[in-house]
Structure 1
Amino acid sequence: MADLTHLQDFIEPVSKAWLNDDQEYDPAQMGGAIDTYESEAYFPDLDTADIVLLGVGEERGSFPPRNSMDGPNAIRREFYNLYYWHNDVRVADIGNLLPGQGLGDAYAALSAVLTPLIDAGKTVVILGGSHDLTYAQYQAYASKHYIIEATVADALIDLQEGSPRRDLSFLMDMLTEQPNYIKHFNHLAFQSYYVHPRMLETLDKLRFDCYRLGRVRENLDEIEPVLRNTDLFSLDLNVLRASDAPATAISPNGLTGEEACVLARHAGMSDRLSSFGIYGYKTGADKGSMTAKQVSQMLWYFIDGRSVKNREAALTERESFWEFHIAGADIETVFLKSKKTQRWWMQLPSNDFVPCSHHDYLLASNNEIPERWLRHQERL
C-alpha cells in the first residue's frame, strides 16, 4: 500500500490520556484496541486497518460559524470507553484535521486526506462539524473521477439556493456542478413539513430516491439495500428526534437512537461504502454527553456491520446462496439469498445483480414488479 504518513501534514494527534483522565484503558475497550495517532513520533499502521477515524471540527459553514475539536473529542471520550467485540475488524484513529485559513481550505484539506485513504481501500468515518463537509467528502471522489452513489440522512434537504449558510445549500453544488460524478443519490428520513415541495419534484425528475421519515421507520430493512449500494454516506444528527439527540435535534420527531444504530449497522455491512460522515454534533447543548454517547454507539454498530460484511461470500460463490428463479407475465428474473447473512439480490435485464429485500422477492413472486427494480431500470 502507498505510504500514507504524509497525511500528518494535515492532522493533529489525539491524547488518549486526556480522553480518559490519565487512566489506562482496558485492552478490551475501544481505547485499548484502537491504534491511535497520539504523537508526531508515531503514526498508526494503516496497512492493517479496515476502518479509519478522522475528526473534523469545521463549523464555519454553519451558524454560529466556528472551528473546534471539542465535538470529535467528546465523541471519542465516549466511544473509547465502549468494549471491543469485533476482533476481525481493525480500527485506526488518525486524529483531527487541522483548521484551514478559510472554509475552502478546510474542504480542500479534508478531500486531500480522504482521497488516498479511499484509494487504499480504507473505510473512513468522519466525526464531523457541520453538514456542508459532505461536499468535501464528495470532492474526494470527484477529484479522481470516481462515479459513485451517495446517500444522505437528514431531516432537511439542503438545497436552499442562495442561502448564506453552506450547511443549508451545499447539495446544490454537489448535485449540479459539472462534470458530475454522482450516478445516483438517495435522501433518507426527511421531514415533509420542513421541505419545499418543489425540492422533491426536482429530485424525482432526476430519478433520485427520497424516503420520508415515516417510510424509513416503517421498515428499516427496506433501507439496507440502499446503503449496501452506497459509496458515500452522510448523516446529519438532526435526523434524530430531540429526546434521543438533545444536542443536535431540530424536531420532536425523527429517528430513535436505536433506529440510527440500525442504519449505521446497515452502512457497515456495505462492501461498497468507503466514507461515512456523521455531522452536526455540538458539545455546548449536550446535557450529560447523551448525544456523544449516541454517536459512539452508532460507531459501535457500524463496526458490528463491518464484521457481518467480512463474513459475506462473493456473489460468484453460488454455493453460498440460495437461488430463486421468477418467471411471470410481467417480470422474469433471478433472486439470490445469502446463506450467511440472509441478504437478498435481484438480477436486472442487464444480468447485473443489485441489492434488494425479501419484500422485493415476495412482490415478484406474486407477479408484481418491485419498485426498486423499476427505479433501477429507469436510471439505466
Structure 2
Amino acid sequence: MKIIRVTVTPIAFRDPPLLNASGIHEPYALRSIIEVESDNGYIGLGESYGDAPALAIQQALQAPLIGLDPFNLNGLRQVVQATVAAHKPASVQGAELAPGSHASKAVSNAYSAFEVAFLDLQARSLNVPLVDLLGGAVRERVPFSAYLFFKYAQHVGAPYPADTWGEALSEAQIVAQAARMIEAHGFQSIKLKAGALTPEHEVACIKALKRAFPEHPLRIDPNGNWSLETALRMAQLLGDDLQYYEDPTPGLEGMAELHRHTGLSLATNMVVTDFDEFRRSVALNSVQIVLADHHYWGGLRDTQVLAKMCDTFGLGVSMHSNSHLGISLMAMAHVAAAVPNLGYACDTHYPWQEPDEEVIKGGKLTIQGGCVAVTRAPGLGVELDYEQLAKLHEQFLRCGIRQRDDVRQMQRYQPEWKAIKPRY
C-alpha cells in the first residue's frame, strides 16, 4: 500500500469572544484538514493547527509523502524532520500560552498531524477502529469536562451575528453557562478558564459553581497569569473546592513552590510540554497531573508513551484542548480510550463550535453523559463532508486571519492592553 495523494486544506470557523490570559479569541479559529489517500482507495483523515507557520510546513509535506507506505511511521518522522529543518520556523507571539505554536514543537506538530491520518488510513485498510492499533479500548466512552469561559456577548465589529451563549462575566452568568452545558451534554465535571478578570472574582465564580453543582469536580485554569503570591492567596480562598489547580503560576519552579506550600494537586499543559520538561518536573515535583495534547506531544502513540511515563512516576493524566472540530475530538477520544490511567475527564472546546460549521458527515458529534463514544467503525469512525470543507475553506480565504493573536484582538476593545505575564 502506497500513498498517492496528500491534501492539506486550511479552514476557518467562527470562534466566540472568549476571554483568557492573553486577551480574547479572534472571530475565527484556524485549522487544517488533512487527507492521505492510498493506492487501494482508502483515505485517512487528520486535523491540526491552521496558523501560517504550521500550515506552511504541512503543505510542504504534501509532495514528499507521496509513495510512502502509510505503515512506515519512522519514514514519516524522517520526512517531517527534514522538511522542518529546511523551513527553520520561528516562534510566534503567544507561544507561551499555546505551546503548540512554539518553534520547538514544529516537528511534533507536523508529525502528529500526519500520524493521525496515517493511523486512520491503516485502520481503515484493516477494517478496524483506530483504537485497536493503539492496543484496544479500555473504555468505550471517554469523559469530557464542561469548559467554561468568561466572554463578551459579541465580537467587536460584529463580523457575524452574536452567538446564543451571550455575555458571561458575573457569577450568575457563569453558573448559567455551566447549567446550559450540563443540560445539553451531561458533563460530570467543570473547568473554568481564568486569568482574564481579577483573581478574587474568578475564585468567587468557582465558589458559585460549587454551590450550584456541589457534586461536580471543579478546576480553574489561570494559564500562568497569577504570580506565586497571588496563586498562594487564591489557594487559601479556594480551600478544598478544586479537583485540581491548573497552571495558576508560571514556570516549573513556581509550580513546585506552590505545591510545596499548599499540597494541592497541580495540573499543567504549559510547563510540561515535552519529555525534557517532564524530566525536570519530576525532579522538582512541580506538577501532579499532566494534560496531554497529541497535537504537540507528537501524535497518538507518543501520547501513550507520555501516559506510561506518568504511570511510572505516579502522576495523573488528562487531556488539553484548543478550538477544534470533530476529527480532532475523535482522535482525542481514540487515544484516551486506550490509556488505562486516564484519571480525569478531558478538556474540549467542542461545545463552543457552531453546529453548522462541522466538517464531518452527519454534523457535530454527540456528547452524552459527558462522554464521547468510541465505536467499532473503521479508523476514526468519521467521514469528511466535502461541501462543508469547501465552505470553511472559503471562509478561511475571506476572514483575513492567518495567525491567532489574542493580544491584538483585545487591543481592539482596549487599545492600551499589553501582554503582561503574570498580570495579577
Normalising by the residue count of structure 2, what TM-score does the alignment of the two structures yield? Answer: 0.28
Name which structure has the greater RCO, CA cutoff 8 Å, separation 6+.
2
